[in-house]
């Protein structure tokens, strides 16, 4: 972590991963500020518009990008216009010019309403959160015109890596204009597949792409997190300079326990553990905050048994759903939020006592 970035003590405050199934953004934004006062996060709303879906939302303005709204396909094409676009792209990257990487209202209405809502408040919030698709997941999921992942085209892999880093930097700068502290989380679901026989991308290339995005966020005086909702090589993640790791503590916690030495060092440096302890699916039906508290306590006890300090684990904790809620029903998403807020309140009331 950079010394210029404040290291917060969130003490099991609740926050959000990002996406929601709701289609009415203004009411949702106000509800987020009401229920998540310590770390509100702007909502992605793919149900409102396909342009807000995870891999489309951050593609805006990148060289070679083609979107087909009719078939809902995004891909990259290296045609005649690409070379001109690429030159402008790298000039902006080298000069640190973030405006060409803006995420406009058409692609992220929730973000812009969130920024407007912050500006109307009596005081700048101490912290806000945002999220950007991570460079590795973007490069593995989005393809060229031949349906080959961008990660397997060196030129387009660089576009994906630098593009997501600059999108993250633009977002960090926008949020820093309205809040004292900012956490920007890179969404890297494809890290679940890293290391398999089907992924022919080197560890060094993955680390370099993620570390580049983390450094870009740090340049704007913000904290950088990484979200992966499955098992992955957490030693790789923890070596990239991230300030927080967001993990699925509901279903994939055991994978995290395989890296006790790295986790202990991470905590000692002030790192945040962002516990995705509330399931982001229909498992919330019939679930109670009391049951979730018991599960959280059990998982914390496992880390304590591996040499980590219980007090630090709680002080440096955030609680979230296990993943984004955008693919769920509105009712399921609302239930997950209710459980999350109640769980956080129970943890903090107990620890205060």
3-state DSSP of 114-149: HHHHHHHCCCCCCEEEEEEECHHHHHHHCEECCCCE
Structure tokens at 134: 């991570």
| Residue 3, pLDDT score | 44
* Sole residue written with tokens 């003590």: 9
**pLDDT the model gives residue 196:** 66
* Domains of the chain and any CATH numbers: 13-352 (3.20.20.210)
Check residue 37 and give its pLDDT: 95
Strand order in the sheet with 73-76: 65-68, 73-76, 143-144
User: d(Cα 299, Cα 322) in Å, to the nearest integer?
Assistant: 14
* pLDDT tens digit at each of 353 positions of the chain: 444 566 789 999 999 999 999 999 999 999 999 999 999 999 999 999 999 999 999 999 999 999 999 999 999 998 888 999 999 999 999 999 999 999 999 999 999 999 999 988 888 899 999 999 999 999 999 999 999 999 999 999 999 999 999 999 999 999 999 999 999 999 999 999 876 667 888 889 999 999 999 999 999 999 999 999 999 999 999 999 999 999 999 999 999 999 999 999 999 999 999 999 999 999 999 999 999 999 999 999 999 999 999 999 999 999 999 999 999 999 999 999 999 999 999 999 999 86
Report the distance separating Cα 146 and Cα 139, nearest Å: 14
Q: Token pair for residue 203?
A: 């560890």
SS3 assignment, position 226: strand
Question: Tell me, what's the pLDDT at 6?
Answer: 66
pTM: 0.95
By C-alpha distance, which of 148, 146, 156, 151 is closest to 136?
151
């Amino acid at each position: 972590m950079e010394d210029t970035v404040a290291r917060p003590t969130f003490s099991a405050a609740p926050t959000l991963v990002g996406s929601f199934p709701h289609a009415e953004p203004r009411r949702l934004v106000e509800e987020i500020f009401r229920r998540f006062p310590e770390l509100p996060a702007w909502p992605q709303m793919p149900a409102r518009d396909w342009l807000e879906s995870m891999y489309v939302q951050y593609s805006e303005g990148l060289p070679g990008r083609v979107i087909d709204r009719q078939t809902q396909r995004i891909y990259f094409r290296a045609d005649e216009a690409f070379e001109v676009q690429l030159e402008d792209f790298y000039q902006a990257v080298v000069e640190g010019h973030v405006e060409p990487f803006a995420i406009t209202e058409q692609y992220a209405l929730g973000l812009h309403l969130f920024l407007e809502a912050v500006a109307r408040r009596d005081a700048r919030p101490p912290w806000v959160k945002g999220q950007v698709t991570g460079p590795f997941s973007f490069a593995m999921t989005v393809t060229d015109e031949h349906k080959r992942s961008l990660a397997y085209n060196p030129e387009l892999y660089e576009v994906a890596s630098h593009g997501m880093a600059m999108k993250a930097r633009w977002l960090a700068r926008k949020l820093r204009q309205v809040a004292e502290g900012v956490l920007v989380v890179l969404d890297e679901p494809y890290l679940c597949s890293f290391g398999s026989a089907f992924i022919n991308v080197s560890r060094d290339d993955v680390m370099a792409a993620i570390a580049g995005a983390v450094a870009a966020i740090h340049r704007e005086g913000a904290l950088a997190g990484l979200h992966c909702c499955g098992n992955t090589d957490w030693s790789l993640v923890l070596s990239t300079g991230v300030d927080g790791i967001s993990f699925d503590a509901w279903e994939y916690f055991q994978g995290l326990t395989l890296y006790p030495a790295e986790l202990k060092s991470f905590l000692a440096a002030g790192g945040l553990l962002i516990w995705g302890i509330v399931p982001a699916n229909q498992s919330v039906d019939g679930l109670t905050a009391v049951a979730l508290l018991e599960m959280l306590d059990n998982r914390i006890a496992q880390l304590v048994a591996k040499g980590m300090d219980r007090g630090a684990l709680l002080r440096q904790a955030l609680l979230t759903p296990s993943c984004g809620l955008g693919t769920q029903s509105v009712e399921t998403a609302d239930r997950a939020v209710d459980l999350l807020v109640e769980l956080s309140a129970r943890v903090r009331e107990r620890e205060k006592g």
